[in-house]
């Protein structure tokens, strides 16, 4: 099937498809026994990310089991700081660790060749996926947004991570802006290479956008995202781009209009009726089921699913969760969700 005929791509280009395409953030992961086995075999999370055969297999697992309309490349947002020369490792059961940057510290000059050489296994996995996926399944590439990457790079870990970056932003604004702008260039270049290799849409994850007050939100989330969108579009004008400035409430509207993304992924705190009115006239909406329903299931799952479908199916819409599926999720609840959406 041609890329433009795939259900996900049609929805991201603004079509109201009736039955929406569906995929779930973190659809590959620890709630699947086959993923836990694969990670064991790979001997660690980063080995999964940097070994194309493992990354392809991890991406394929949820597609085989559930037949989602889209797959998302198996990798992590932190491979970008890693490729920029920062130390990155994953503590089992705790999450990512980096060597923290000091306030004012500058990254060395950008070495595009070394950056892309480090990320070559990712591009190879994307290529492998285009020949492994079912004909109708769209392939989504992704990257972390500059702000969210900077929060991990400043704090070195996934706890209280926004405090270190917010402190840096106000005590040494020029060096912080330089870090953000460097990350924006690196992310744009990374996404272009993923699309070159076969990604059919891309998503920019700004998981900590909610920690930014309005002026900072504009400077460190909206402007860098706009720069990434413009740079990627110049190379690949037809590839749809999704943004996920998680937790920003009514600012989803200005983000959508000002960055030029094709669509926004919504967290579960946004009312779908508001999104239909304020967002759908300007772009595609993706989301936004409470991820806990994948753990608890039952009538509450069906009720909230129906409310989202009723509010958003009349416009361009992609069904997803409000954030990633958690390790406690029950695969049977994913099946129940798909039955409800597809009828």
Q: What amino acid positions are annotated as catalytic residues?
A: 26, 30, 39, 76, 152
Is residue 72 at the binding interface for ligand CP3, with CB under 6 A as the rule?
A: yes
Is residue 190 at the binding interface for ligand CP3, with CB under 6 A as the rule?
A: no
Shortest distance (Å) from residue 222 CB to ligand CP3: 18
Q: Can you name the residues that pair with 283 across neighbouring β-strands?
A: none
β-strand 70-72 against 317-321: which pairing, if any?
unpaired
The correct pick among 85, 95, 249, 281 for binding ligand CP3 (CB under 6 A) is: 95
In this chain, which stretch among 1-9, 26-34, 165-173, 296-304 interacts with ligand CP3, using CB under 6 A? Answer: 26-34
Shortest distance (Å) from residue 179 CB to ligand CP3: 17
The correct pick among 20, 81, 96, 128 for binding ligand CP3 (CB under 6 A) is: 96
β-strand 95-98 against 138-144: which pairing, if any?
unpaired
Helices 161-171 + 146-155 axis angle, to 10: 100
Residue 95 to residue 26: CA distance in whole angstroms: 14
The correct pick among 13, 14, 19, 30 for binding ligand CP3 (CB under 6 A) is: 30
The correct pick among 26, 82, 193, 227 for binding ligand CP3 (CB under 6 A) is: 26
β-strand 95-98 against 88-91: which pairing, if any?
antiparallel
Shortest distance (Å) from residue 78 CB to ligand CP3: 6
Residue 48 to residue 219: CA distance in whole angstroms: 34
Closer residue to ligand CP3 in complex, CB, 15/76: 76
Site for ligand CP3 in 133-172 (CB under 6 A): 142, 158
Closer residue to ligand CP3 in complex, CB, 82/227: 82
Q: Within 10 A of 267 (CB to CB), how many other CB atoms are there? A: 22
Shortest distance (Å) from residue 294 CB to ligand CP3: 13
* E-only strand ranges, the chain: 70-72, 88-91, 95-98, 138-144, 201-206, 241-245, 263-265, 284-289, 317-321
Site for ligand CP3 in 268-327 (CB under 6 A): 324
Shortest distance (Å) from residue 197 CB to ligand CP3: 16
Shortest distance (Å) from residue 257 CB to ligand CP3: 23
**Do the Cβ atoms of 208 and 147 come closer than 8 Å?**
yes
In this chain, which stretch among 25-33, 229-237, 306-314, 329-337 interacts with ligand CP3, using CB under 6 A? Answer: 25-33
Is residue 39 at the binding interface for ligand CP3, with CB under 6 A as the rule?
A: yes
β-strand 317-321 against 138-144: which pairing, if any?
unpaired
**Do the Cβ atoms of 192 and 236 come closer than 8 Å?**
yes
Site for ligand CP3 in 74-93 (CB under 6 A): 74-78
Shortest distance (Å) from residue 76 CB to ligand CP3: 5
Residues in contact with ligand CP3, total (CB under 6 A)? Answer: 21
The correct pick among 205, 220, 252, 255 for binding ligand CP3 (CB under 6 A) is: 205
Is residue 227 at the binding interface for ligand CP3, with CB under 6 A as the rule?
A: no
Classify each residue of 283-312 as buried b or exposed e, where b means 16 or more C-beta atoms within 10 Å of its C-beta.
bbbbbbbbbbbbbebeeebeebbeebbebb
Is residue 29 at the binding interface for ligand CP3, with CB under 6 A as the rule?
A: yes
For residue 132, count CB atoms less than 10 angstroms from its CB and return exposed for 0-12, middle for 13-18, buried for 19 or more: middle
β-sheet with 138-144: strand ranges across: 70-72, 138-144, 201-206, 241-245, 263-265, 284-289, 317-321
Q: Which residues bind ligand CP3 (CB under 6 A)?
A: 25-30, 39, 45, 72, 74-78, 95-96, 142, 158, 205, 207, 324
């Amino acid at each position: 099937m041609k890329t433009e005929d795939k259900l996900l791509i049609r929805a991201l280009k603004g079509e109201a498809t009736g039955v929406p395409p569906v995929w779930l953030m973190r659809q590959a992961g620890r709630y699947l026994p086959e993923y836990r086995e694969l990670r064991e075999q790979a001997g660690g999370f980063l080995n999964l990310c940097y070994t194309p055969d493992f990354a392809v297999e991890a991406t394929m697992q949820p597609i085989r089991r559930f037949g989602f309309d889209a797959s998302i490349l198996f990798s992590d947002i932190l491979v970008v700081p890693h490729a920029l020369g920062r130390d990155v490792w994953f503590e089992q059961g705790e999450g990512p660790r980096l060597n923290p940057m000091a306030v004012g510290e500058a990254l060395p000059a950008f070495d595009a060749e070394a950056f892309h050489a480090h990320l070559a296994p990712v591009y190879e996995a994307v290529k492998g996926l285009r020949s492994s996926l079912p004909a109708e399944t769209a392939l989504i590439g992704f990257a972390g947004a500059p702000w969210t990457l900077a929060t991990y790079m400043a704090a070195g870990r996934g706890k209280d991570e926004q405090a270190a970056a917010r402190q840096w932003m106000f005590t040494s604004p020029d060096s912080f802006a330089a870090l953000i702008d460097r990350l924006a260039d690196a992310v744009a270049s990374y996404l272009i290479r993923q699309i070159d290799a076969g990604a059919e849409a891309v998503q920019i994850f700004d998981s900590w956008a909610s920690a930014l007050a309005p002026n900072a939100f504009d400077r460190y989330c909206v402007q860098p995202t706009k720069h990434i969108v413009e740079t990627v579009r110049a190379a690949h004008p037809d590839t749809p781009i999704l943004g996920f400035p998680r937790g920003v409430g009514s600012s989803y509207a200005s983000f959508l209009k000002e960055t030029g993304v094709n669509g926004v992924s919504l967290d579960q705190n946004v009312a779908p009726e508001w999104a239909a009115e304020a967002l759908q006239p300007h772009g595609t909406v993706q989301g936004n089921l409470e991820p806990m329903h994948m753990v608890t299931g039952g009538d509450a799952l069906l009720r909230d699913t129906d409310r989202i479908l009723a509010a958003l199916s009349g416009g361009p819409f992609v069904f997803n969760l409000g954030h990633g599926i958690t390790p406690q999720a029950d695969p049977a609840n994913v099946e129940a969700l798909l039955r409800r959406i597809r009828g």
